[in-house]
Chain A
Amino acid sequence: MSDSKTINSVGELLAHARVMETEAYECYQDLAEQMEVHNNNEVADLFRKIAAEEKKHIDKVNARAGDDDIPHIAPWEFKAFETESHGLTGAREVHYMMTPYHALSLALRAEERSYDFFTQVVETSNDEKVLEMARELQEEERHHVNLIKVWLDKEPKPDEDWDEDPDPPVLPT
């Protein structure tokens, strides 16, 4: 990570954390709505459950700021993941017939990316306060990754024909 990508203050770190958690929370909510619209209620409920976990993270980030204002950063000024936007980059890989296994796999990738972000901060920042906060956030993300893994282990792997639709949207050629 170059110097321009280094987090220089606790406020900046919390701003990044809040953007990341908020985007994840809203994306899970959007995915839940998508699944509801397509009558995949089992996965919709799961996305809402994951969104609720994300909401706890947002609340914790806000609580850490205390009475201080968390600075605003534009979404495109996020200091990591240059090739792809932060948040749920797998969100465009969802399917209306996806299973809880797919949903949790997507969530796991997202949580691992969040963990990687805080790991980058820990590895690159020279500010003691930033390092201390980043380690805490990193630990929270590790917990979240493990939680998703536990949930994922309980789900059966989908059959090979999981996306076979007896009434497909595509006209046969």
Chain B
Amino acid sequence: MSVQPATKALSARDFKSDVKPVWCPGCGDYSVLSSITKALAELGLSPEEVAVISGIGCSSRIPAYLNSYGFHGVHGRATALATGLKLSRPELTVLVTGGDGDGFSIGGNHFLHACRRNVDMTYIVMDNRVYGMTKGQPSPTTEPDWDNSALAPAGTGLRPFNPLVIALASGANFIARAFSGDPNGTAQLIVEAIKTPGFSFVEILSPCVTFRPDQREWKTDVHPSPVDPTEDIGRAARRLMTDDGFNLGVLYSGHRKPYALNFDASVDSLSDLEQQFAV
């Protein structure tokens, strides 16, 4: 452990807004909110240096609970919004927050291309394997035999979406999994994700205590990954083949150069911008 002089001006509390969260008591998203604020404080950032973009859903409410810039956007389109923001304001630290339904179903296509583009941002998905805000429908990551929903009484029978596999195959430069029950470990992973250039993806297992009370048992299911992070995509892929969905830690940390604009965006007028696109 490195003990350093107390030079930090802001605490995690300074990143919280005055808006009280309306999540269900016991929801994992409270811990994730805490982890994000801790991570930002540890990085020595100030609220005006950070923008948090979200889509729709319980976890997408996070920008309202933060003191940074925020945009509670359109369902599934958070990564697209964030991409535009980061390219036009590259000095900002851009986070994207949301849930599994928002990110992998409605926003599934945007997720693929955000990984592929590798713009420098961090995408935090609070995965509870259910649509909580709309009262408990199965999501893309729901187990095929989960039948405790009036809306899918016999389970979906569908193969779940595997976010880490998709992120790796699509080109994300940093991939990790965390558990909301370990807010400090989660904060550490978020710090690593933000510090790694390019598109960083962090799946956080965040129980929905109302519609998936069975997920309270996740605290006994999760375990640290037995292997160190790798920068080898092939090795990361092989690890995912034996992943039980509860390995925590960094899976992959690569060295792809982040996408950046290759034209001058500092134009004064629309006609100047048009000139750059002239054929």
Listed in ascending order, the chain A residues whose CB lies under 8 Å from chain B are 4, 9, 11-12, 15, 22, 26, 30-31, 33-38, 69-79, 84-87, 89, 91-96, 98, 169-173
15 further interface pairs, Cβ-Cβ under 8 Å (given A85-B183, A92-B28): A4-B1, A33-B20, A35-B25, A75-B42, A75-B183, A75-B188, A76-B185, A76-B187, A77-B2, A85-B181, A91-B31, A92-B31, A92-B207, A92-B216, A96-B25
How far is it, in angstroms, between the C-alpha of A70 and the C-alpha of B8 when the chains are bound? 12
Least CB distance from B245 to A in Å reads 19
Pairwise interchain contact B20-A37, C-beta atoms closer than 8 A: yes
* B1-24 contacts to A (CB < 8 Å): 1-8, 11-13, 20-24
Contacts A/B (CB < 8 Å), 28 sampled = A4-B1, A9-B3, A12-B3, A30-B34, A33-B20, A34-B23, A34-B30, A37-B22, A71-B4, A72-B7, A73-B3, A74-B188, A75-B183, A75-B184, A79-B1, A84-B181, A85-B183, A85-B185, A86-B184, A89-B181, A92-B27, A92-B31, A92-B181, A94-B25, A98-B25, A169-B135, A173-B147, A173-B148
How far is it, in angstroms, between the C-alpha of A17 and the C-alpha of B147 when the chains are bound? 46
Q: Which residues of A contact B11 (CB under 8 A)?
A: 22
Residue of B nearest to A8 (CB): B3
Contact among A9, A12, A87, A92 for B209, CB-based, below 8 A: A92
Asked if A96 meets B24 with Cβ closer than 8 Å, knowing A70-B6, A71-B4, the reply is yes
Q: Which residues of A contact B5 (CB under 8 A)?
A: 69, 71-72
Contact with A along B212-240 (1 / 0, CB 8 A): 00001001000000000000000000000
Q: Which residues of B contact A76 (CB under 8 A)?
A: 184-185, 187-188
Q: Which residues of B contact A36 (CB under 8 A)?
A: 20
Q: Which residues of B contact A33 (CB under 8 A)?
A: 20-21
Q: Which residues of B contact A78 (CB under 8 A)?
A: 184
Q: Which residues of B contact A98 (CB under 8 A)?
A: 25
Residue B49, interface by CB 8 Å: no
Residue B211, interface by CB 8 Å: yes
Least CB distance from A164 to B in Å reads 15
Q: Which residues of A contact B183 (CB under 8 A)?
A: 75, 85, 87
How far is it, in angstroms, between the C-alpha of A69 and the C-alpha of B153 when the chains are bound? 59
Size class of the B contact interface (CB-based, 8 Å): 35 or more
How far is it, in angstroms, between the C-alpha of A34 and the C-alpha of B182 when the chains are bound? 20
Pairwise interchain contact A95-B181, C-beta atoms closer than 8 A: no
How far is it, in angstroms, between the C-alpha of A71 and the C-alpha of B2 when the chains are bound? 10
How far is it, in angstroms, between the C-alpha of A76 and the C-alpha of B149 when the chains are bound? 37
Q: Which residues of A contact B24 (CB under 8 A)?
A: 96, 169
Residue of B nearest to A33 (CB): B20
How far is it, in angstroms, between the C-alpha of A80 and the C-alpha of B1 when the chains are bound? 12
Q: Which residues of A contact B207 (CB under 8 A)?
A: 92
Give 10 closest A-B pairs by Cβ, nearest first: A75-B184, A76-B188, A94-B25, A71-B3, A171-B150, A85-B184, A76-B184, A72-B6, A34-B25, A77-B1
Least CB distance from A5 to B in Å reads 9
Q: Which residues of B contact A89 (CB under 8 A)?
A: 181
Asked if A75 meets B182 with Cβ closer than 8 Å, knowing A26-B13, A169-B210, the reply is no
Asked if A171 meets B136 with Cβ closer than 8 Å, knowing A78-B184, A85-B184, A92-B26, the reply is yes
How far is it, in angstroms, between the C-alpha of A26 and the C-alpha of B12 when the chains are bound? 10
Residue B129, interface by CB 8 Å: no
Least CB distance from A44 to B in Å reads 11
How far is it, in angstroms, between the C-alpha of A73 and the C-alpha of B207 when the chains are bound? 28
Q: Which residues of A contact B8 (CB under 8 A)?
A: 72
Residue from the set A12, A86, A94 with the largest chain B CB neighbour count within 10 Å:
A94
